[in-house]
Amino acid sequence: MVVLNKIYTKTGDDGTTALGSGERRPKNDLRIDAYGTVDETNAVVGLVRLHTGADAPDVDATLGRIQNDLFDLGADLATPETDKDLGYEPLRVTDAQVEALEQAIDTLNADLSTLRSFVLPGGSAASAHLHLARTVSRRAERLIVELAAREKVNPAAVRYMNRLSDYFFVASRFLNDKGGQDVLWVPGQNR
């Protein structure tokens, strides 16, 4: 259980932060940047949910699950894999969480019109915010992949972020009248 009675601790005043392993790293460390960008993704999902709720309860429920998963992912990334006994079992993203995203993608995608062009961010407010979530999650994915090239990272975490941006894209189309209100790219339109 997490207990937060005092929000500021002053321990980060030196420009470092503690990982789940107890190790301290600079706040601009790649690992910190990666899970910070996962947190940013979660904040954007919160914005999306301002536009779903009653209008799209199934999508909203999935987004709620995703928000919880993103906290799991942040905890995963905040605790480097180590042989050292941490005194607890670190939380790790699982293949089941990746598979749940794939199922959600397949469910929404089954009802979409065929895509014959790239889609521009827009349409409904929910769809535009989902595109923002997609781009932020792609940045988080790039950071996680870079981190995985330097340090050991849970492979399910990388897969989760890859599927997540796919979910955001499909959900944005679904909420744009199942693709009927997508704003399509017209190559060279303004030449």
Contact present, 37 and 136 (Cβ < 8 Å): yes
Residues 6+ apart with CB under 8 A from 112: 170, 173, 174, 178, 179
What is the C-alpha to C-alpha distance for residues 33 and 42, in angstroms, rounded to an integer?
A: 14
> In this model, does residue 24 exceed pLDDT 70?
yes
What is the C-alpha to C-alpha distance for residues 139 and 80, in angstroms, rounded to an integer?
A: 20
Q: In which band, very low, low, confident or very high, does the pLDDT at 62 lie, cut at 50, 70 and 90?
A: very high
pLDDT in tens, 103-119: 999 999 998 988 888 99
What's the confidence (pLDDT) of residue 180? 82
Q: Considering only CA atoms, which of 144, 148, 166 is closest in space to residue 62?
A: 166
Contact present, 32 and 92 (Cβ < 8 Å): no
> In this model, does residue 8 exceed pLDDT 80?
no
Instruction: Please give the backbone phi and psi of residue 27, each rounded to the nearest 5 degrees, phi first.
Output: -65, -15
Instruction: Indicate left, alpha or beta for 64 from its phi (over 0: left) and psi (-120 to 50: alpha).
Output: alpha
Number of residues that this document lists for the chain: 191
